Structure 1
Amino acid sequence: MSKILVLGAALGGLQTALLLAGDGHRVTVLERDAHRAPADAESAWSRWRRPGIPQMQQTHLPLARWLQLAEAHLPELVGRMTAAGAVRMNVVAPEPGLRGSLRAGDERFDTLAARRSLLEAAATEAAEAAGIDIRRGVACRGLHRSSRGLHSSRDAGASGRARSGRQCPVHVTGVETNEGTLTADLVVDCTGRRSQLPSWLRDIGVREVGEERGRRGFVYYSRYFRSADGALPTSTFPLVVEHGSLGLLRIPADHGSYSVCLVSRGDDLQLRHLLRREAAWSAAVRQFPGAELWLDGHPLTDGVRIMAGLSDRKRNLYDTEHPLVTGLVAVGDSWAFTVPTVGRGLTMSLQHGLVLRDALRRTGTGEPEDLVAEFGRATDDSLAPVYRRTTFYTHHRLAEMDAHAAGLPYRDPDWSRSRALVRLAQRDPDALRAERAAAHLLPGAREELRAPALADAVARLVPEVEQDLPPGPSRAELLAAIGG
């Protein structure tokens, strides 16, 4: 088995480490933040210092697909999260469009709801119990490369040039840290959306890594509460509501806690100025029917927490024919980051970790170029389509927000069909299940969406969607309500 260094002890890195350690690899996780997780959920929420993770004090509702994969491949992780207080919930159960009780088979929509600090503390316990060495306070400062390029008994000679005549890729043999050089058969970058990988690669002679990056993104304005009796404020509510210039996320969590989050365009300077104030934020939340009840809980944090500068980004690290670098892979957000509105980050990270585990099973680390090529192909096949669907959402939702601010409906044929499906899901329980299955990346969802009866019903709603502005207040009414 191989010696593997995983960079980053957040959820993505710990998931990946657990998968690889489960196959017998010797896994060490390096984490630059020095502080260990406190022993209980409340201390982890209020006292755990994680400067490397600005979104640490947040609620987390992974996709239902994440729970399916975690229960299948990391059951000990799910058990520890549940024991710590993560709540098993069904994502269609509270939706108004359900119009009745859950059916047999609806358990596919189950997931775990919790604050991120609880989930990460439980994942740390699971990793340590599995014998994974987590070295805190060790910061990666760069990559260590082989002086001879690719080292492969099959593909390269002493010159460092492949027998095909082309130059071998740079081969990474470890990392440079504040504690010196650490070597490994494989380095796995799980340091997330703030990964310094492009600059590390430049420093060892790898040409510029291409990036696909959205020019615009969203800003998230959140407050966190706990109910007096441990129950959610209402039993029926849509988890996500979008109209006009704003979106609203209601995210249940553990021990009676929950968050309420407003979402605007990153370049909406009017709202960015106003929604920093608690009074304006609360007034904006009240523009969503039924949401005012969610403001009655006891606040867990002071003020409005703002998360900005978030747009979709994917790094093109893997030329599957001629890799740029070997001995190194990027997993999860280090490879591709998607906006939090769609909630796909943790699920994509687990899927990506499984891709890496399976690639290692097929090729091992003895032929580094084969491993990276295999990993790149599988990444393109399984995860790149999910990334593209997310960028579709981001592009069109921002354009819809632009149009609403100008008092105009937004018309695009593909977006209109998407919006018609969402509207139908508010009225029809079968459409709700199909729409949620697709949103949660569940197997078979694409076939459900293509069912003739559903496709016809969506097509009949398209003219209605195209004629209407998104429901809710006009831009002028919204600004007047929040003091603009």
Structure 2
Amino acid sequence: MFHRVIVIGGSVAGLLAARALRDHAEHVTVLERDRYPGGPDARRGVPQGRHVHIFVTGGQRALETLLPGSAEALAAAGAVRLELPRDLLSCARNGWERRYPDDRHHLLSCTRPLLEQVVRRQVLAACPALEVREDCAATGLIGDGTAVTGVRTAAGDLTADLVVDASGRGSRSPQWLAELGLAVPREERIDAGLAYATRLFRLPAGTAPDHGVYVQHTPASPRGGALLPVEGGHHLVTLIGVGGDRPTTDAADFLPFARSLRDPYLARLLADAEPLTPVHGSRSTVNIRRRYEETPAPGFLAAGDALCAYNPVYGHGVSIAALGAAALRQALDAGAPSGARLQGALAGTADRAWLLASGADLPYDPQAPAPGRRERLGSWYAQRFLDRAAHDPALGAAYRDVFCLTAPLERLAAPRLALRTLLLPRRAGGEAPPLEVGTPG
């Protein structure tokens, strides 16, 4: 049992970490540099808050273990359920993927401010004694040279026997640990050079689809985009570009960029749509993994994007925050004796999403080392698998298990699936978006 725990950052990762720790600490204090809005409004401290967000099956299940009733609360607030692959029209590298019913996985689609508001209310209802200090930024860590013993703020030093950094991808803890003479984590970075531009729309009555759309960017076609239904009957559209093909935040450029995608379907949906917001941009898309589990600092844990931040285009950040908090609570419930064990539990949940995101972005990173023979073989197999998964129900189901964070990456190399990947012929996906739902056969 900890006496006092301080969590730096009061976004989703920080609040869920506080929830996991509340039953194992006498006092838990969350330090949030922003002031929470009264409603589901964007905050300065959430740089990806205006862009498309999805919540995959694995994250939903983890959230439900931490906060029972969360799925019902999100649905009541307006989050839209999209069954995969029935409700998402996805244009992969080799064409449009097949669409058919499969009730094993679904996404929840809503704006990030709505998701944050629901999670915050659920956490505060479950932990009425939780202390949240708004408008309170951490300015450093305090320690004795052998361990972290608290947090420095503008209002004064706060002591604790455990500090959890959930401050996001811009975390300054590596610098703060170095200032204390403690080990600095090894850092991995993979930067595909992606940028986003996002706008909220109202589609004309009778034209709004009941599905989402995702046109993937590829090395040959470095522009992509996503359109997802969100609360209020609106649609959030994020345009994606790499390098010289990055979208701008000029409203006059938004529709022309959408028309430049390799399939015009998404742009056609927007032809008569009413924009409800300005265009918001972001270039904070680098994948960053800080290996705190290799050199854990006593009295300190990193969680969420402060531990591992992904290119947001893959939609795993919030789900991994929930899975990490669930793993943290499971380790605490099992009596994990050390911070090293707790940090290892948090790091372990990041592995699948990191491999997916870094593997997909590696070909776009000009600073990445040339892949070896093993990496080239793995990339060839993965692409062949994905090409067949667009129309093969068995491979598609396995990929969705991995993407939705309910199965390890090794699932894709199971003998039966490997034989299908290697021996069956490669086929192109559909040439046109599948507007009608088909069958898996």
Q: TM-score, normalised by structure 1?
A: 0.76
Partner in structure 1 of residue 418 of structure 2: 455
Q: Which has the larger radius of gyration?
A: 1
Amino acid at match of 2:360: Y
Q: Is the 8 A contact 2:8 2:14 kept in 1?
A: yes
Partner in structure 2 of residue 122 of structure 1: 118
Deviation of the 1:215 alpha carbon: 4.6
Q: Distance in 1 between matches of 2:149 and 2:379?
A: 46
User: What do residues 345-394 of structure 1 show as CA deviations (whole Å, max 9, x unaligned)?
Assistant: 11222222223223333446xxxxx5222124334544335423321111
Rate the CA distance shift 1:398–1:318 in 2: closer, same or farther, 3 A: closer
Partner in structure 2 of residue 423 of structure 1: 387
Q: Is the 8 A contact 1:232 1:252 kept in 2?
A: no
- Higher mean alpha-carbon deviation, 374-383 vs 293-302, is at 374-383
Deviation of the 1:59 alpha carbon: 3.3
Q: Distance in 2 between matches of 1:22 and 1:424?
A: 46
Q: Is the 8 A contact 1:318 1:372 kept in 2?
A: no
SS at match of 2:329: helix
Q: Distance in 2 between matches of 1:398 and 1:461?
A: 32
Output the aligned Cα RMSD: 3.0
Q: Distance in 2 between matches of 1:19 and 1:232?
A: 43
Are 1:347 and 2:319 matched, yes or no?
yes
Residue 356 of structure 2, aligned match among 385, 389, 414? 389
Deviation of the 1:64 alpha carbon: 1.8
1:37-56 equivalence runs, <5 A: 37-39=37-39, 44-45=40-41, 48=42, 50-56=43-49
Rate the CA distance shift 1:423–1:446 in 2: closer, same or farther, 3 A: same
Partner in structure 1 of residue 60 of structure 2: 67
Partner in structure 2 of residue 87 of structure 1: 80
User: What do residues 255-281 of structure 1 show as CA deviations (whole Å, max 9, x unaligned)?
Assistant: 21222222222xx23x23x64444443
Q: Distance in 1 between matches of 2:228 and 2:342?
A: 34
Residue 331 of structure 1, aligned match among 303, 307, 312? 303
More helix by share: 1
Deviation of the 1:204 alpha carbon: 1.6
Q: Percent of aligned positions with the same letter in both sequences? A: 27
Any gaps of 5 or more consecutive residues in structure 1? 150-169, 365-369, 400-410, 473-484
Deviation of the 1:238 alpha carbon: 4.3
Rate the CA distance shift 1:420–1:223 in 2: closer, same or farther, 3 A: farther
Are 1:317 and 2:292 matched, yes or no?
yes
Residue 141 of structure 2, aligned match among 129, 140, 143? 143
SS at match of 2:22: helix
Q: Is the 8 A contact 1:62 1:112 kept in 2?
A: yes
Are 1:281 and 2:235 matched, yes or no?
no
Q: Distance in 1 between matches of 2:213 and 2:390?
A: 9
Q: Distance in 2 between matches of 1:91 and 1:53?
A: 28
User: What do residues 229-256 of structure 1 show as CA deviations (whole Å, max 9, x unaligned)?
Assistant: 4x88334554352341112222332121
Any gaps of 5 or more consecutive residues in structure 2? 90-96, 367-374, 433-441
Q: Distance in 2 between matches of 1:124 and 1:388?
A: 29
Are 1:202 and 2:178 matched, yes or no?
yes
Q: How many residues align?
A: 409
User: What do residues 65-116 of structure 1 show as CA deviations (whole Å, max 9, x unaligned)?
Assistant: 111221233224334333322223323222454544x24xx2x312321111
Are 1:256 and 2:256 matched, yes or no?
no
Rate the CA distance shift 1:99–1:79 in 2: closer, same or farther, 3 A: closer
Q: Is the 8 A contact 2:20 2:328 kept in 1?
A: no
Q: Is the 8 A contact 2:142 2:152 kept in 1?
A: yes
Rate the CA distance shift 1:381–1:19 in 2: closer, same or farther, 3 A: closer
Partner in structure 2 of residue 367 of structure 1: none
Deviation of the 1:426 alpha carbon: 2.8
